[in-house]
Amino acid sequence: MKSCVVLFSGGIDSTTALCWALDRYDKVFPLTFDYGQRHRVEVRVATKAARKLGLKPVVIKLDLRQVGGSALTDPGIDLPKPKGLARLKAGTPPTYVPFRNGILLAVAAAWAEAHGVADLVVGFNIVDSPNYPDTRREFIRAMEKAVNAGTGAAFGGPQMRILAPFVGLRKSEIIRRGLALGADYSFSVSCYAGGEKPCGVCSSCLLRARAWKETGRKDPLITRTGKGETK
Amino acid sequence: MKSCVVLFSGGIDSTTALCWALDRYDKVFPLTFDYGQRHRVEVRVATKAARKLGLKPVVIKLDLRQVGGSALTDPGIDLPKPKGLARLKAGTPPTYVPFRNGILLAVAAAWAEAHGVADLVVGFNIVDSPNYPDTRREFIRAMEKAVNAGTGAAFGGPQMRILAPFVGLRKSEIIRRGLALGADYSFSVSCYAGGEKPCGVCSSCLLRARAWKETGRKDPLITRTGKGETK
For residue B99, the one-letter residue type is F
Which of B53, B174, B84, B158 has the alpha carbon at shortest distance from B124? B174
To the nearest whole number, what is the mean pLDDT of chain B?
93
Angle between helix axes B137-150 and A100-114 (nearest 10 degrees) is: 140
- Give B103-131 as a 3 state SS string: HHHHHHHHHHHHCCCCEEECCCCCCCCCC
pLDDT of residue B88: 65
Q: In sequence order, what are the residues at sequence separation of 6 or more whose Cβ sits closer than 8 angstroms to the Cβ of residue B208?
A: B12, B171, B190, B191, B198, B219
CA-nearest residue of chain A to B62? A62
Split into its structural domains, chain B has a count of 1
Q: What do you get for the CA distance between the two ends of chain B, in Å?
A: 48
Mutation choice for B interface testing from A103, A115, A141, A148 by most B CBs within 10 A: A103
* Residue B198 falls inside a structural domain: no
Distance CA A4, CA B98 (A): 17
pLDDT of residue B44: 96
* B185-228 confidence digits (pLDDT tens): 998 999 999 988 899 999 999 999 999 999 999 999 988 876 65
CA-nearest residue of chain B to A137? B149
The enclosing domain of B171 has a CATH number of 3.40.50.620
pLDDT of residue B231: 43
- Say what the ipTM of the complex is: 0.94
Distance CA A164, CA A19 (A): 13
* Residue B124 falls inside a structural domain: yes
Provide the number of CB pairs (under 8 Å) joining chain A to chain B.
Answer: 165
Distance CA A162, CA A41 (A): 26
* A163-185 confidence digits (pLDDT tens): 999 999 999 999 999 999 999 99
C-alpha distance from B16 to closest chain A C-alpha (Å) = 23
Give contacts of A70 with chain B, Cβ < 8 Å.
114
Interchain CB distance below 8 Å, B114 and A139:
no
* Residue A217 falls inside a structural domain: no
* Residue A230 falls inside a structural domain: no
Q: Which letter does DSSP use for residue A163 in this model?
A: E
A156: left (phi over 0), alpha (psi -120 to 50) or beta: left
The widest CA-to-CA distance across chain B, in whole angstroms, is 55
Domain that holds residue A117: 3-185
Mutation choice for A interface testing from B7, B35, B61, B103 by most A CBs within 10 A: B103
* Residue B74 falls inside a structural domain: yes
Give the nearest partner residue to A133 out of B92, B131, B150, using CB atoms.
B150
* Residue A218 falls inside a structural domain: no
Interchain CB distance below 8 Å, B67 and A111:
yes
C-alpha distance from B55 to closest chain A C-alpha (Å) = 18
pTM to 2 decimal places:
0.95
Contact (Cβ atoms closer than 8 angstroms) between residue A120 and residue A7: yes
Please report which residue ranges of B27-120 form alpha helices under DSSP H: 41-52, 100-114
Distance CA A60, CA A224 (A): 28
Distance CA A62, CA A32 (A): 11
CA distances from B44 to B32, B47, B187, B196 (A): 10, 5, 10, 10
Segments in chain A below pLDDT 70: 86-88, 226-231
Give contacts of A63 with chain B, Cβ < 8 Å.
61-62
CA-nearest residue of chain B to A154? B133
Distance CA B205, CA B211 (A): 10
Q: Which range among A209-213, B107-111, B126-130 shows the weakest confidence by mean pLDDT?
A: B126-130
pLDDT of residue A229: 56
Angle at CA A175, nearest 5°, toward A192 and A107?
Answer: 55
For residue A199, the one-letter residue type is C
Contact (Cβ atoms closer than 8 angstroms) between residue B131 and residue B88: yes
* A73-93 confidence digits (pLDDT tens): 998 999 988 887 766 677 899
> What does the pLDDT average to over B145-153?
97
* Residue A7 falls inside a structural domain: yes
- How long, in residues, is chain B? 231
* Residue B176 falls inside a structural domain: yes
